[in-house]
């Protein structure tokens, strides 16, 4: 059904304003006919301009005597009986609403209708159209959702007022063809004839309706091809032709419909899409769901930069998913299910930050589920069922909310028993170590754990070793292993990332750059509110990504801070003003970043608590004496690096929020520190 452009269900004053009726003294001119058990009463004072009811009973005959009446809203009640013919001679009436009652009798006997000022009409009987030729000011006719059970009267429609703008008969059980006479109503902006039994072809004469913005012919029995004449409707905003028997190609001239924002062609027999179609750069919603489109999805789909919803399900699209789809950052709904798509799920889908619903079911997609999908914090519906996916089902981000139905039919997936899949194998068979390349990477991802990633063989299998940092023996074990790895030098082994290495600085720069974008990359600052190591994720290229935006706040440019009544952030990395006052600002993120930097240099700390006596902050802890070794050939350069980084951390964790540096300054300082380290050290790892 076409999106509603008309005002419905307004209060008295709003309705009169919409119709251009002066509202001065409104309280003296409104009348309620009575409601509930009282029924509708006949005692009506003179001078009424607006009348409504929430009651039952019959419509009083006296309404015909109200010669000042402008709005008659009796819809959606329990009124019975017939409609007094006198109503249609109240020449001042501008709005009549009688739908959704239990009225009886026929309006066809009312032939003398004198409503020269009538603008909006909501009735329930088709035959009454022939009586409206005298309504020269009529702008809206809405007969929607009434069982009219008839054929559109050609002559009656052609004789309607040329001032008519909206003609709506949605879901009325109307049959027959679309009268060409409707093209006489040249001021029409909306035609909604969806949900009926209309047959025949789409009249080419519709091209005469140059002001038409909405055309709804969906869910009928229309046949033939889509006429090129529709391309002349240059004001067309919403075109809905789905659920018919249209065939052939989408007209190439559709690229001329520059105003088009909503297009629904699903459930037809259309077979091809011209390349010129993808020049509709401003389209918002596309529904091409049917069973007849074939061939691969074109790369040109990436031209639709502002696309919000795309339904290409239940077709025969083949090949891989175009990489360009990953650049459609405004997408909220992406439906590609029930096709013949192959290849893997795009890692760039993780960049579709607005995505709410993703359906890739019933294809031939293979490979692992990209970890980048965990970044989709707005994702509510996911269906990856009945593909050939393999590997572990993600558990981060929104994935914890999805059920087994989202992943069924993929025999090689593993993960949580709740998802009705087998558990993933965590052991590495001894035979896989033979003739393999061994690489060790230490990832200090949080205060609770750290990960050693072992990359084995040509397939780069990954084994993860987790240490519980709350256990003192874990530190000793880890220190011993690190010392051994530091002492080994071989071309097939990489060094453990040291505390002031190029990689460590790169990670800090990545996180700082993310903060800079959040704070300065938008018209209004975005505050993360929970920056901590466990929310920093590393990809295959050791690039850091800031995650978990579940408690993120959006500030206005005028307000540089806001007050949060509940505390959701992690206390260990929380800014003092957040804990004391609930004050949220960009300065709080900077403080958390300073704590994050400090945490990379002191791994043995426990959680701090700022309440009570003896409270300590992270910057008051003593630095690990084994952080640097004087025997290191680059000791001086690394000592200088550590000093610079600590000074940066101190500048971030100043007690006063206003005295802290900002994210732009952090990035600049870290880039200078890295440049100095690279100049003075031979860092080839």
Q: Concatenate the DSSP letters of all residues of 26-85 into one string.
A: GGGTEEE---GGG---S---TT--EEE---EEEPPGGGGG-TT--EEE--SSEEEEPPPG
Please tell me which residue, 482 or 50, carries the higher pLDDT value.
50
pLDDT above 80 (res 499): no
Q: Is 393 helix (H, G, I), strand (E, B) or coil?
A: coil
pLDDT above 80 (res 91): no
| pLDDT band, very low/low/confident/very high, at 1 (cuts 50, 70, 90) | very low
Tell me, what's the pLDDT at 5?
A: 30
154, containing H or E segment: helix 154-158
Residue 153 CA from chain centroid, whole number: 43
C-alpha 164/C-alpha 588 separation (Å) is 58
Q: What does the pLDDT average to over 363-372? A: 95
Lowest mean pLDDT among 161-165, 197-201, 262-266, 623-627: 623-627
454, containing H or E segment: strand 451-456
Q: What does the pLDDT average to over 368-397? A: 94
C-alpha 619/C-alpha 647 separation (Å) is 11
Query: 545 has which bridge partners?
Result: 537
| pLDDT band, very low/low/confident/very high, at 24 (cuts 50, 70, 90) | very low
* CB distance 527 to 550 below 8 Å: no
pLDDT, one tens digit per residue, over 3-16 is: 333 333 333 344 33
C-alpha 354/C-alpha 654 separation (Å) is 35
Q: Is 147 helix (H, G, I), strand (E, B) or coil?
A: coil
Residue 434 CA from chain centroid, whole number: 49
Q: Strands 461-466, 451-456: parallel, antiparallel or unpaired by DSSP? A: antiparallel
Q: What does the pLDDT average to over 457-468? A: 42
Give the single-character DSSP code of 4: P
Whole-number percent of the chain with pLDDT over 90: 38
Dihedrals φ, ψ of 542, to 5°? 60, 30
Sign of the torsion angle spanned by Cα atoms 17, 21, 27, 33: negative
pLDDT, one tens digit per residue, over 519-544 is: 888 778 888 888 888 888 887 777 88
Nearby residues of 611 by Cβ (< 8 Å), 6 or more positions away: none
pLDDT above 80 (res 304): yes
Q: What does the pLDDT average to over 307-320? A: 94
Burial of 629 per CB tally in 10 Å (0-12, 13-18, 19+): exposed
pLDDT, one tens digit per residue, over 251-264 is: 999 999 999 999 99
Tell me, what's the pLDDT at 559?
A: 58
Mean of all residue pLDDT scores within the chain: 76
| pLDDT band, very low/low/confident/very high, at 112 (cuts 50, 70, 90) | low
pLDDT, one tens digit per residue, over 139-196 is: 888 877 766 677 888 888 888 888 889 998 888 888 999 999 999 999 999 999 999 9
Class of domain 1-176 (CATH, top level): alpha beta
Q: Strands 71-73, 294-296: parallel, antiparallel or unpaired by DSSP? A: unpaired
* CB distance 356 to 383 below 8 Å: no
pLDDT above 70 (res 481): no
Global pTM value: 0.55
Q: Strands 526-527, 553-554: parallel, antiparallel or unpaired by DSSP? A: antiparallel
Q: Strands 197-200, 553-554: parallel, antiparallel or unpaired by DSSP? A: unpaired
C-alpha 664/C-alpha 513 separation (Å) is 8
Q: Structural domain boundaries of the chain?
A: 1-176, 430-487, 502-680
pLDDT, one tens digit per residue, over 672-684 is: 888 887 777 654 4
Where helices occur in 524-631 by DSSP H, the ranges are: 576-581, 586-599
How many C-alpha atoms does 345 have within 13 Å on its Cβ side? 28
pLDDT above 50 (res 446): no
Tell me, what's the pLDDT at 324?
A: 92
CATH of domain 502-680: 1.10.510.10
Beta strand extents in 89-183 (DSSP E only): 95-97, 102-103, 120-122, 140-142, 166-168, 175-176
pLDDT above 60 (res 630): no
C-alpha 218/C-alpha 242 separation (Å) is 5
C-alpha 299/C-alpha 273 separation (Å) is 13
C-alpha 470/C-alpha 464 separation (Å) is 18
- Tell me how far apart the terminal alpha carbons of the chain are, to the nearest angstrom: 60
| pLDDT band, very low/low/confident/very high, at 52 (cuts 50, 70, 90) | low
């Amino acid at each position: 059904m076409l999106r509603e452009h008309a005002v419905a269900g307004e209060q008295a004053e709003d309705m009169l304003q919409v119709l251009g009726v002066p509202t001065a003294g409104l309280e003296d001119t409104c009348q309620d006919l009575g409601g509930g058990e009282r029924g509708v009463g006949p005692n009506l004072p003179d001078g009424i301009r607006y009348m409504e009811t929430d009651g039952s009973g019959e419509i009083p005959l006296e309404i015909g005597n109200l010669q000042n009446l402008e709005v008659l809203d009796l819809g959606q009640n329990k009124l019975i009986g017939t409609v007094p013919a006198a109503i249609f001679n109240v020449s001042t009436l501008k709005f009549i609403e009688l739908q959704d009652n239990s009225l009886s009798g026929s309006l066809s006997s009312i032939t003398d209708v004198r409503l020269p000022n009538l603008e909006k009409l909501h009735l329930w009987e088709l035959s009454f159209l022939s009586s409206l030729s005298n309504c020269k000011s009529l702008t809206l006719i809405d007969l929607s959702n009434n069982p009219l059970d008839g054929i559109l009267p050609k002559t009656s429609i052609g004789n309607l007022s040329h001032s008519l703008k909206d003609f709506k008969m949605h879901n009325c059980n109307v049959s027959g063809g679309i009268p060409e006479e409707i093209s006489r109503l040249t001021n029409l902006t909306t035609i909604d004839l969806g949900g009926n039994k209309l047959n025949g072809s789409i009249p080419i004469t519709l091209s005469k309706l140059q002001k038409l913005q909405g055309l709804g012919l969906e869910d009928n029995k229309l046949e033939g091809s889509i006429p090129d004449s529709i391309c002349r409707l240059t004001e067309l905003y919403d075109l809905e032709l789905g659920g018919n028997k249209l065939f052939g190609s989408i007209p190439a001239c559709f690229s001329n419909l520059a105003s088009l924002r909503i297009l629904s062609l699903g459930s037809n027999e259309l077979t091809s899409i011209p390349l010129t179609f993808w020049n509709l750069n401003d389209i918002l919603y596309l529904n091409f769901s049917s069973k007849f489109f074939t061939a691969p999805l074109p790369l040109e789909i990436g031209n639709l930069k502002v696309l919000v919803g795309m339904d290409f399900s239940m077709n025969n699209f083949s090949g891989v998913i175009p990489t360009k789809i990953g650049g459609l950052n405004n997408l909220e709904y992406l439906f590609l299910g029930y096709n013949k798509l192959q290849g893997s799920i795009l890692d760039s889908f993780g960049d579709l930050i607005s995505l709410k619903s993703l359906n890739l079911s019933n294809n031939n997609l293979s490979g692992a589920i990209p970890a980048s999908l965990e970044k989709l914090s707005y994702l509510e519906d996911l269906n990856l069922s009945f593909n050939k996916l393999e590997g572990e089902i993600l558990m981060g981000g929104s994935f914890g909310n999805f059920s087994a139905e989202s992943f069924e039919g993929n025999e090689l997936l593993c993960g949580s028993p709740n998802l009705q899949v087998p558990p993933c194998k965590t052991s590495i068979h001894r035979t896989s170590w033979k003739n393999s390349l061994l690489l060790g990477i230490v990832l200090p991802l949080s205060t609770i754990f750290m990960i050693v990633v072992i990359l084995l063989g040509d397939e780069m299998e990954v084994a993860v070793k987790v240490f519980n940092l709350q256990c003192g023996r874990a530190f000793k074990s880890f220190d011993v292993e690190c010392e051994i790895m530091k002492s080994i030098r071989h071309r097939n082994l990489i060094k453990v990332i040291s505390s002031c290495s190029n990689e460590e600085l790169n990670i800090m720069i990545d996180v700082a750059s993310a903060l800079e974008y959040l704070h300065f990359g938008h018209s209004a600052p975005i505050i993360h509110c929970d920056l901590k190591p466990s929310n920093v994720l590393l990809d295959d290229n050791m690039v850091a990504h800031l995650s978990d935006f579940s408690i993120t706040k959006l500030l206005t440019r005028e307000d540089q801070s806001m007050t949060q009544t509940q505390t959701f952030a992690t206390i260990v990395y929380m800014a003092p003003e957040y804990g004391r006052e609930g004050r949220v600002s960009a300065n709080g993120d900077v403080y958390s970043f300073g704590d994050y930097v400090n945490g990379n240099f002191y791994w043995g700390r426990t959680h701090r608590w700022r309440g009570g006596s003896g409270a300590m902050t992270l910057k008051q802890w003593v630095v690990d004496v084994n952080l640097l070794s004087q025997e290191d050939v680059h000791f001086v350069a690394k000592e200088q690096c550590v000093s610079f980084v600590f000074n940066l951390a101190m500048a971030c964790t100043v007690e006063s929020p206003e005295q802290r540096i900002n994210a732009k300054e952090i990035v600049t300082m870290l880039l200078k520190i890295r440049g100095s380290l690279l100049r003075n050290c031979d860092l080839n790892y």
